[in-house]
Amino acid sequence: MSLIAAGVACGAVLVAGCSAGTVAGEAGAVNAGSGEPVFSPCDDIPDDTLRAIGVDPASESMDILDVKQPGWTICQWTGTSYSVFVAATDRTVEEFHANPRNTDFASLTLGHREAFSYRETTDTRHENCDVVMRSGDGAAMVRFSLDTGDPSGTNPCQAAVRTAIQLEPVIPQ
């Protein structure tokens, strides 16, 4: 499960718009000049909130396979048949919306901020759904991922929205 979840998380970071880095023959920082997000999901989401969304605070996993992603702070927790991935980034909500690998957008209002849910086009089994909201100068993303072969019939987008609603008060505006 954790290896699959790490792959999903890695895909989320790539899909969100990591193409801003330098590629052609010169070393350069991804999204050079931008700061790191000030929101750190692993540090800033209280254990009581994690329990309320049905994940175990002790299952915390930081970054992607413990590798820091420039411009991102990432944390993931597991529940009984799903995982919740929360990322803060200096990417904008517009970048998430403009990415051609994202589909099935649905507009939302979380608290007093605009947000939207979406799926990745590669998720042909409909096991994952993301919610993105503005946070500081960037965005926060909440991903709800069902375990492969989950028989519960849970709709991951409905679950992602419910999860994002519960997390929104602890995510900086």
Q: How far apart are CA 145 and CA 138, in angstroms?
A: 23
Q: Are 57 and 50 in contact (CB under 8 A)?
A: yes
pLDDT exceeds 90 at position 26: no
Q: How far, CA to CA in Å, does 93 sit from each of 4, 21, 121, 130?
A: 25, 18, 18, 12
Higher-pLDDT residue of 135 and 152 is 135
What is the average per-residue pLDDT within 130-141?
A: 95
Interval 101-122: pLDDT, tens: 999 999 999 999 999 999 999 9
Specify whether the CB–CB gap between 34 and 17 falls below 8 A.
Answer: no
The residue written with tokens 């990417």 in the block is: 91
Instruction: Tell me how far apart the alpha carbons of residues 38 and 148 are, in angstroms, rounded to a whole number.
Output: 33
One-letter amino acid at 21 equals G
Q: Are 102 and 120 in contact (CB under 8 A)?
A: yes
Domains of the chain: 2-21+37-170 (3.40.1000)
Q: Is residue 44 within a helix (H) or strand (E), and if so which, with residue range? A: helix 41-44
Q: What CA–CA distance (Å, rounded) separates 37 from 4?
A: 25
Of 100, 106, 90, which is closest to residue 141 (Cα–Cα)? 90
pLDDT tens per residue, range 31-72: 333 577 889 999 999 999 999 999 999 999 998 878 888 889
Two structure tokens written together for 83: 């995982």
